[in-house]
Structure 1
């Protein structure tokens, strides 16, 4: 009888679990179907419409597929997002759309990197040539938000709101103290005094080399920030510096006094202004359309001829294998470059890089495809927020490199981290290890003991070899000597303006400037732009990564703002092979 009840119980549990799994899959399919149906619809734009530009959403390299949007547990995003280039193209279309009367910018804390914000800001300034009003309003402006809003014709602030304007600061997090308490030793093998990606694991504060480079690039980012605001707000740059340096903007009225904003208004007053612009009375609702919905109406790229410019999007950490839309998988990106190279209708290639690097080997695999393509057709590199270390590696062979003034690039250097858990496992937990081996180096990468002098010598030689290869790749691509590259390498991080000065990049320019340059080099007048690689189908991503997606979702939910710390420590311990990576996050406060 006991066995009978055990069998029945097991059967019931199995049925419940199966039903739960089927319900989840059914829910996902329904959500995806509904989202896909919505994506296919064309949004009708009424006359006298206000284009609503939400700049708090994630502004990404490419607008993601939305089949699982709003379902983060299944790998989708719970927030809206839009590709910066789709946003720019939508604004360009709105310039000549008679139904779009004006633009309303809403921004409090933008979810985008500095160079991406510059792309968006320039698109807003370009739109103003249409003479259609652009108005920004917010209850609170962070510094990034104000940088974007300051491009508008009028900037309004809530009378009880806040405008943050205090200058930039960069803060790095160091884990050595925590590792010491846990009994974990980070054994570092690196080349380059400036290769500071390893410092959080071996120091408790910045080295002098790192402090020097961080000071330089934060200052460079700040100069771009101030110059942009000075130009559009017609305020002297030195005056802006003084306002921030002495923290003059403490109350909303201060922002008005120093001409940072054009008025202090409540939202109803701003909406009334939009009604006046669009010819509506105060009791009528405004006709509005979001930039996301408007971008769905963008026509497909058309051309009278067959000529194409291919854009290869390389976004995220560089890893071996397929990767994802948020990772640069060496196989997937190499295949995309190869496909563009072998397509006779593709006359030029633009590789768009937004990456802090990753696997040195994977970077070299992608570099090889760029070199092969360059022999057949023009290849132009466009660097986004970050194109550093491995991110620079994969673009250094291009015919020409475009950067924004506030792009973070360089970091030509490599490192390896081999954790030693012996103290944690043996001295703290009482776990010991014993075994046999057929050669003295058979367990060279063991994490249960410290490296021997011989092992360290071997690994250092490997790291030196990878660095020498990196120098050679850059020297060949940039037409410099290895000594010249080494003098600006060693892991040194540069801001875009400085990268052009020292020859690591060719021109300051936008993504579209890079595309136009590629077309010009290929002598094209009429062409269409095609994008590679194909976006990964969200359903495939869900079914192949369901376990990881659920794990990530619950970990993020549990750790909250501390999730970044967890990810950085996890990377340091789990990254395999020699890394060409700028491994810490640049957060400007």
Structure 2
């Protein structure tokens, strides 16, 4: 019997070991297939068309998620860098004859839309065609499609053109119902990030600034569509007032918003005609995932000069306490230090796409940018947002470039500590008692309200943070502090408005920032390298876990609602002293 049990146990252990080994081999095999398929070079056939699907959502850069790849799920999130790089490669590749914009549900902030649109305009200068086709154009996809040589729409389709609207959520009544009071400390009349906790509607100051930057963004969009479609701006606004989303397709042709009505098969035939493809032959199509792996037709640089593009994207955390998504100040500081010490790196483009976050984390990164600037040129390229803490980390650069629709400024500080006394005592029946060695030992205890002395201490800390922030901006922009304070107060500006206020030096995209960096470094030959380095497939598989996978699923399901959800989720992890925007703007 003992021998039987011994052999049985050995057999079970053996089966388990074999199962584990086969599981590991299986995962590695699948991973190898996914990695090889995603990394293999795409061969381009003659008379090809780049089909740019305007669907899903856009982020600055996208780290592929191994878990989603292994289970066969795609979340439709694309990297702006991949889109811009693919358009550029399509322009340079003689075998690619044009681009077809396939319009759909596209979630993309204004400055990224403008960056893509400018890349498409640059593509047109090559003499190649751009056509657009869609059944249901969102306003974002129509804004991009308006640059095309021909805008076609399904006879039963719709076209979004209705203007911009912003919406802020307010939590005061909810907090009152559950017995939580948010104790607020802030500097800046326009610093509205705290309003969701203290009010049920926008303050007059917040309404003023929001209306101003919404008008600025919309005005930029109208002007660009007017130029491309040759429709007066007044007429475009009149059409928006009618909400063209709900109008018959024939009216889009009559008003000049679109050129022709086509079914999908007719568009396919038209593309074959443009590429001189026989009717019976298949059209050679390339999609974004193909274009990412197309090699660029440029000679390899042998100078050894590196122009670094460093991406700082997301909410700014505090030290190593920041969330998985966002900017880790200690990591960014280490990376910037390496770039400073690397003699092959001749200049740095600091790409900022951040609504801000921790004031302390912003100061850490500001320090490293200041030290880096002493050794080599630092050019800031602003993405969709470089506001509050995002502006803090940008203001020390040699030169700042933003898109006209970038949201920036918001120079202000706030802090908050919840008082959950009513929730704990009255609603949950939980009471606290204890001892302390000093008068303020329990400052920040959420089971009771602040005393007058504690309130004064917190407000003084916030005031000090504001004075430091405005001084950093004054030093970086070489402006008097009083002039900075006049345009600060937490007010949000678009890039176009910020340029007039001298918070920004120039309007343009990341390509312009790279060109300026090369000019400042006095180099003609160089290799552009992006930092931080993205993880390879296996590293990402080991580090991602389920959190990144679930975040990707939530982002895909919630769409534009993801950022407010993420903000609420990370409140518990964030510093009590913040420099950040309260909102994210998306054009649909």
TM over 0.5: same fold? yes
- Identify the residue that residue 265 of structure 1 maps to in structure 2: 262
Contact (CA 8 Å) 1:186, 1:418: kept in 2 or not? Answer: yes
Query: Which residue among 141, 159, 167 is the counterpart of 1:145?
Result: 141
- Identify the residue that residue 188 of structure 1 maps to in structure 2: 184
Query: Which residue among 305, 314, 317 is the counterpart of 1:316?
Result: 314
Q: Cα–Cα, structure 1 residues 325 and 314, in superposed 2: closer, same or farther, change >3 Å?
A: farther
Q: Cα–Cα, structure 1 residues 19 and 333, in superposed 2: closer, same or farther, change >3 Å?
A: farther
State the distance in 1 between where 2:525 and 2:324 align. Answer: 29
Q: CA deviation at 1:95?
A: 2.3
Q: Which moved more, 1:568-577 or 1:537-546?
A: 537-546
- Identify the residue that residue 164 of structure 1 maps to in structure 2: 160
Query: Which residue among 131, 138, 142 is the counterpart of 1:135?
Result: 131
- Identify the residue that residue 63 of structure 2 maps to in structure 1: 64
- DSSP 3-state at the match of 1:254: helix
- DSSP 3-state at the match of 1:491: coil
State the distance in 1 between where 2:334 and 2:96 align. Answer: 41
2:253 is the counterpart of 1:256: yes
State the distance in 2 between where 1:78 and 1:17 align. Answer: 32
Contact (CA 8 Å) 2:89, 2:294: kept in 1 or not? Answer: no
- DSSP 3-state at the match of 2:292: helix
Contact (CA 8 Å) 1:568, 1:584: kept in 2 or not? Answer: no
Q: CA deviation at 1:275?
A: 1.4
2:40 is the counterpart of 1:44: no
- DSSP 3-state at the match of 2:370: helix
- Identify the residue that residue 231 of structure 1 maps to in structure 2: 227
Q: Which moved more, 1:577-586 or 1:198-207?
A: 577-586
Contact (CA 8 Å) 2:110, 2:405: kept in 1 or not? Answer: yes
Q: Which moved more, 1:205-214 or 1:18-27?
A: 18-27
2:354 is the counterpart of 1:358: no
State the distance in 2 between where 1:21 and 1:557 align. Answer: 33
Q: CA deviation at 1:471?
A: 0.7
Q: CA deviation at 1:543?
A: 4.2
Q: CA deviation at 1:281?
A: 3.2
- Identify the residue that residue 298 of structure 1 maps to in structure 2: 295
Deviation track 1:85-110 (CA, whole Å, cap 9, x = no partner) reads 33223222322422112211112222
Q: CA deviation at 1:278?
A: 2.1
Q: Which moved more, 1:529-538 or 1:327-336?
A: 529-538
Q: Cα–Cα, structure 1 residues 551 and 166, in superposed 2: closer, same or farther, change >3 Å?
A: closer
Q: Which moved more, 1:81-90 or 1:519-528?
A: 81-90
- Identify the residue that residue 121 of structure 1 maps to in structure 2: 117
Query: Which residue among 207, 225, 242 is the counterpart of 1:211?
Result: 207
- Identify the residue that residue 5 of structure 1 maps to in structure 2: none
State the distance in 2 between where 1:38 and 1:252 align. Answer: 41
Contact (CA 8 Å) 1:301, 1:528: kept in 2 or not? Answer: no
- DSSP 3-state at the match of 1:193: coil
State the distance in 2 between where 1:28 and 1:482 align. Answer: 58
- Identify the residue that residue 89 of structure 1 maps to in structure 2: 85
Q: CA deviation at 1:15?
A: 13
State the distance in 2 between where 1:85 and 1:262 align. Answer: 30
Q: CA deviation at 1:266?
A: 0.6
Q: Cα–Cα, structure 1 residues 578 and 52, in superposed 2: closer, same or farther, change >3 Å?
A: same
State the distance in 2 between where 1:218 and 1:561 align. Answer: 17
Q: Cα–Cα, structure 1 residues 198 and 274, in superposed 2: closer, same or farther, change >3 Å?
A: same
Contact (CA 8 Å) 1:186, 1:419: kept in 2 or not? Answer: yes
- DSSP 3-state at the match of 1:108: strand
Q: CA deviation at 1:551?
A: 6.0
Q: Cα–Cα, structure 1 residues 182 and 30, in superposed 2: closer, same or farther, change >3 Å?
A: farther
Q: CA deviation at 1:503?
A: 0.9
Please, which runs of 5 or more residues in structure 2 have no aligned partner?
1-11
Q: CA deviation at 1:138?
A: 0.5
Q: CA deviation at 1:549?
A: 3.9
Contact (CA 8 Å) 2:65, 2:540: kept in 1 or not? Answer: no
Please, which runs of 5 or more residues in structure 1 have no aligned partner?
1-11
Q: CA deviation at 1:52?
A: 1.0
Contact (CA 8 Å) 2:317, 2:574: kept in 1 or not? Answer: no
State the distance in 1 between where 2:137 and 2:42 align. Answer: 30
State the distance in 2 between where 1:113 and 1:15 align. Answer: 55
State the distance in 2 between where 1:576 and 1:199 align. Answer: 18
- Identify the residue that residue 307 of structure 1 maps to in structure 2: 305
- Identify the residue that residue 100 of structure 2 maps to in structure 1: 104
Aligned residues: 575
Contact (CA 8 Å) 1:419, 1:573: kept in 2 or not? Answer: no
Q: Which moved more, 1:293-302 or 1:147-156?
A: 293-302
Q: Which moved more, 1:436-445 or 1:242-251?
A: 242-251
State the distance in 2 between where 1:401 and 1:486 align. Answer: 19
- DSSP 3-state at the match of 1:34: helix
Q: What's the TM-score, normalizing by structure 1?
A: 0.91
Q: CA deviation at 1:63?
A: 4.6
Q: CA deviation at 1:558?
A: 9.3
Q: RMSD in angstroms over aligned alpha carbons? A: 2.8
Contact (CA 8 Å) 2:139, 2:587: kept in 1 or not? Answer: no
Contact (CA 8 Å) 2:323, 2:570: kept in 1 or not? Answer: no
2:277 is the counterpart of 1:280: yes
State the distance in 2 between where 1:392 and 1:214 align. Answer: 18
Q: CA deviation at 1:547?
A: 5.2
Query: Which residue among 75, 81, 100 is the counterpart of 1:79?
Result: 75
Q: CA deviation at 1:440?
A: 1.5
Deviation track 1:258-300 (CA, whole Å, cap 9, x = no partner) reads 0100101110110010111222333332111113212212348
